[in-house]
């Protein structure tokens, strides 16, 4: 009887256990001349899978998302998707015109995507590839998807710094593109609201979320209005919340569900 009860207990527990695999890999970057740490979560199922890239915020690294969304391994299994979490330093995911060591647009959108497709069982096409991030990573996700619409078909932003211009002295942006006072035209070039036409041409599935008490809420709301005025289809969620991991944890579920619908051809 004791053996039977033990077996019954195991059969009850095992189906709910998380069987996905988390691996930290060191990805070579030719353009930066260094290796970049990347966390890759693969589901415990056969065949090939869609991929979601998650970008961290300022001051973070590839491990931060594991703290923001501790259940991300379980979600990879439930959604049957590969999740890729790269380190991006404080690059804002741009190719810096002033620092050769910060070429994170090329690394993320080209070198990393190729590495993942070459080494993991992905479905290597834009309609099976999405990207999102929080704070700096939200800006980075929108920037990369807009600039590389042949690579990413769906994009999200969580509390993203979607317009850098009101924040000329914050978050190491000067280190990446130079001071706004010295390079005002460059700050205009890297501001997402100046690329509404590019978003219109990119044919992306877009979801943007920002808490109404977030210091980035105003720029997110204005960006939403600009997209809407231009007729760029997107989902905008303005819900209670501030700029913190609690908000990102909760709203990530909506974004991953959105991506899942996109992968299934429902958007």
Both structure tokens of 25 = 């890999």
Domains belonging to the chain, first-starting first, are: 20-263 (3.40.50.1820)
69 exposed, middle or buried (CB, 10 Å; 0-12, 13-18, 19+)?
Answer: buried
129 exposed, middle or buried (CB, 10 Å; 0-12, 13-18, 19+)?
Answer: buried
Both structure tokens of 61 = 């690294």
In the block, residue with structure tokens 């379980």: 74
Both structure tokens of 255 = 């974004």
Q: What is the pLDDT of residue 10?
A: 39
The pLDDT tens digits of the residues spanning 31-81 come to 999 999 999 999 999 999 999 999 999 999 999 999 999 999 999 999 999
Extract the residue ranges of the chain whose pLDDT is less than 50: 1-16
d(CA 248, CA 171): 19
| Closest-CA residue to 21 (of 60, 74, 89) | 74
What global pTM score does this model have? Answer: 0.92
d(CA 106, CA 113): 10
Q: What is the pLDDT of residue 17?
A: 55
**CA neighbours closer than 13 Å in the CB half-sphere of residue 183:** 15
Q: Taking the mean position of all CA atoms in its chain, how far away is CA 173? A: 19
């Amino acid at each position: 009887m004791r053996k039977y009860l033990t077996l019954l207990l195991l059969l009850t527990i095992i189906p709910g256990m998380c069987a996905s695999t988390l691996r930290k890999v060191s990805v070579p970057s030719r353009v930066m001349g260094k290796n970049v740490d990347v966390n890759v979560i693969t589901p415990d199922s056969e065949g090939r899978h869609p991929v979601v890239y998650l970008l961290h915020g300022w001051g973070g690294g590839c491990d931060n998302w594991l703290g923001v969304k501790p259940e991300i391994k379980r979600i990879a299994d439930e959604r049957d998707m590969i999740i890729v979490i790269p380190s991006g330093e404080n690059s804002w995911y741009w190719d810096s015109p002033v620092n050769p060591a910060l070429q994170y647009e090329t690394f993320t959108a080209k070198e990393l995507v190729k590495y993942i497709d070459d080494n993991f069982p992905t479905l290597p096409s834009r309609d099976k590839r999405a990207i999102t991030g929080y704070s700096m990573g939200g800006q980075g996700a929108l920037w990369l998807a807009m600039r590389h619409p042949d690579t990413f078909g769906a994009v999200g932003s969580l509390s993203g710094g979607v317009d850098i211009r009101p924040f000329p002295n914050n978050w190491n942006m000067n280190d990446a593109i130079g001071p706004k006072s010295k390079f005002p035209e460059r700050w205009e070039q890297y501001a997402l609201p100046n690329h509404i036409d590019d978003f219109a041409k990119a044919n992306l599935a877009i979801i943007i979320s920002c808490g109404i008490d977030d210091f980035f809420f105003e720029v997110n709301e204005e960006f939403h209005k600009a997209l809407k005025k231009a007729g760029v289809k997107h989902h905008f969620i303005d819900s209670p919340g501030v700029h913190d991991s609690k908000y990102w944890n909760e709203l990530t579920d909506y974004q991953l569900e959105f991506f899942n619908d996109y992968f299934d051809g429902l958007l």
